[in-house]
Amino acid sequence: MKKSQVTIKDIARQLGISASTVSRALQNHPDISQETKQQVSELAMRLRYQPNALALSLKHRRSKTIGLIIPEIVHYFFSSVISGIEDVAYEAGFTVIICQSNEKYDREVANVKTLMAQRVEGILVSISKETNDYQHLHDIRSSDTPLVLFDRMVPGLLADQVIIDDREAAYRATRHLIEGGRRKIVHFAGPQNLLIGQQRKEGYLQALREAGIAANPEWIIEADSFEKARNAVFRLLEAGSLPDGIFAVNDLTAIGAMKTLQKKGLRIPTDVAVVGFSDGRFSGITDPSLSSVDQHGYEMGTIATEMLLKRILSKENEYPFETKVLHADLIVRGSSS
Amino acid sequence: MKKSQVTIKDIARQLGISASTVSRALQNHPDISQETKQQVSELAMRLRYQPNALALSLKHRRSKTIGLIIPEIVHYFFSSVISGIEDVAYEAGFTVIICQSNEKYDREVANVKTLMAQRVEGILVSISKETNDYQHLHDIRSSDTPLVLFDRMVPGLLADQVIIDDREAAYRATRHLIEGGRRKIVHFAGPQNLLIGQQRKEGYLQALREAGIAANPEWIIEADSFEKARNAVFRLLEAGSLPDGIFAVNDLTAIGAMKTLQKKGLRIPTDVAVVGFSDGRFSGITDPSLSSVDQHGYEMGTIATEMLLKRILSKENEYPFETKVLHADLIVRGSSS
DNA sequence: TTATTACCCGCAAACGTTTGCGGTTACGAT
DNA sequence: ATCGTAACCGCAAACGTTTGCGGGTAATAA
How confident is the model over B199-214, as a mean pLDDT?
A: 96
Number of C-alpha atoms within 13 angstroms, CB side, residue B279?
A: 20
Closest listed residue to residue A149, CA positions, set A293, A250, A314, A300:
A300
- pLDDT surpassing 70 at residue A93: yes
Q: pLDDT class for B155, splitting at 50, 70, 90?
A: confident
Task: Please list every residue in chain A whose beta carbon sits closer than 8 Å to the beta carbon of residue B114.
Answer: 95
| Nucleotide whose C1' lies closest to the alpha carbon of residue A49 | C16
Our CA dihedral for A176, A179, A182, A187, rounded to 10 degrees, sits at 30
Q: Which of A53, A143, A280 faces B119 most closely, judged by CB atoms?
A: A53
B52 touches chain A (CB under 8 A): yes
Closest CA to C13 C1' — which residue? B59
Q: pTM score > 0.85 for this model? A: yes
Q: Chain B, 136-155: which CBs lie within 7 Å of strand C? A: none
Is residue A100 helix, strand or coil? Answer: strand
For residue B156, the model assigns a pLDDT of: 85
How confident is the model over B61-66, as a mean pLDDT?
A: 94
Is strand C less than 7 A from the beta carbon of A7? yes
Which tens digits make up the pLDDT trace of B228-256?
Answer: 999 999 999 999 989 999 999 999 999 99
- pLDDT surpassing 90 at residue A2: no
Q: Which of A5, A117, A226 faces B143 most closely, judged by CB atoms?
A: A5
Q: pLDDT class for A1, splitting at 50, 70, 90?
A: very low
Task: Please list every residue in chain B whose beta carbon sits closer than 8 Å to the beta carbon of residue A99.
Answer: 86
User: Using the beta-carbon criterion (under 8 Å), do A50 and B287 form an inter-chain contact?
Assistant: no
Which tens digits make up the pLDDT trace of B83-136?
Answer: 999 999 999 999 999 999 999 999 999 999 999 999 999 999 999 989 999 999
For residue B280, the model assigns a pLDDT of: 79
Q: CA of A111, closest CA in chain B: separation in Å?
A: 10
State, as a whole number of angstroms, the distance between the CA of A328 and the C1' of D23.
Answer: 71
Which tens digits make up the pLDDT trace of A54-73?
Answer: 999 999 999 999 999 999 99
Nearest-angstrom CA–CA distance, B4 and B151: 42
User: Using the beta-carbon criterion (under 8 Å), do A285 and B286 form an inter-chain contact?
Assistant: yes
Is strand C less than 7 A from the beta carbon of B18? yes
Which tens digits make up the pLDDT trace of B165-190?
Answer: 999 999 999 999 999 999 999 999 99
A98 touches chain B (CB under 8 A): yes
Q: Chain A, 19-38: which CBs lie within 7 Å of strand D? A: 19-21, 31-36
> Which one-letter amino acid corresponds to residue A75?
H
Q: Chain B, 14-53: which CBs lie within 7 Å of strand D? A: 19-20, 23-24, 26-27, 31, 49-52
Q: Is the distance from CB of A127 to CB of A152 less than 8 angstroms? A: yes
State, as a whole number of angstroms, the distance between the CA of B36 and the C1' of C3.
Answer: 29
Domains of chain B: 8-51 (1.10.260.40), 63-164+297-326 (3.40.50.2300), 166-295+331-336 (3.40.50.2300)
Compare all CA atoms of chain A with the CA of B56 and give the residue at the minimum distance. Answer: A54
- Cα-based angle A118, B60, B39 (whole degrees, multiple of 5): 70
Which chain D positions have some atom within 7 A of a protein CB?
Answer: 7-12, 14-22
How confident is the model over A29-38, as a mean pLDDT?
A: 91
How confident is the model over B296-303, as a mean pLDDT?
A: 96
Output phi, psi for A114, to 5 deg: -55, -50
